[in-house]
Amino acid sequence: MDANTVSMISDIVVGFSALVVAVLAFLGLRTWRNELTGKAKYEIARNIMKLGLKFVADFKNYRNPFSYSNESKGRQKRDNESPEESQLLDQWYIRAERVKPLYENLNKLEELGWEVEAILREDDSKQVSDAIEVCNKCLAELSSAIISYFQTRYEEINKGTLINDQDWMRELHHEVYSPKKDILLEKIVGAKDQLSSTLKKYVK
């Protein structure tokens, strides 16, 4: 076998080896990328499902009509508050404090929702987005009810007269303090269930 033939065979072997290495590197990179993407999907799905459960738990805690005296310790009280005014302002403070964890959870959910748009399938992303929007609307409705109810009650106490629309006040009271049929909580639980059913395939 002459030197040219040996050189040609050597070149072929080297070229084939380089091709094999390139193919293996490509397959390895793709496998690594798929594993990394799968892990990211798992983490996002798990975190969203946990936050959904916590949102429901905090919402139930908020809706508890009972409160404890230590919940209002952080409120700065004025010297001239009447007992009725002080009781109302304590309740206002307690309800406002109980809402804070809900907003914290919602902010985290929304941030993860943005990541979901980039990493999950479009239909799954929409399901997650819709569920988070339900939580957003329910929390906005609750916050609005808190402000309207306590602000109006405060004015009633200061003026010594009740407003004409007491039906509206009763509706607000039902939103602030959990009624027997809690429509807002039902919506929140439904949103949590939607998150869980959409994302559970990513955490198996």
Q: Quick: pLDDT tens for 147-188.
A: 999 999 999 998 989 899 999 999 899 888 876 678 889 999
State the average pLDDT over residues 118-137: 90
| Max avg pLDDT among 31-35, 61-65, 81-85, 176-180 | 81-85
| C-alpha–C-alpha distance, residues 12 and 8, integer Å | 6
State the average pLDDT over residues 93-114: 92
Asked if residues 200 and 176 have their Cβ atoms less than 8 Å apart, the reply is no
- Examine the pLDDT at 50 and tell me if it is beyond 80: yes
| C-alpha–C-alpha distance, residues 44 and 113, integer Å | 9
| C-alpha–C-alpha distance, residues 9 and 23, integer Å | 21
pTM: 0.77
Query: What pLDDT score does 60 carry?
Result: 87
Within the chain, where are the H helices?
3-63, 83-119, 122-159, 166-176, 183-199
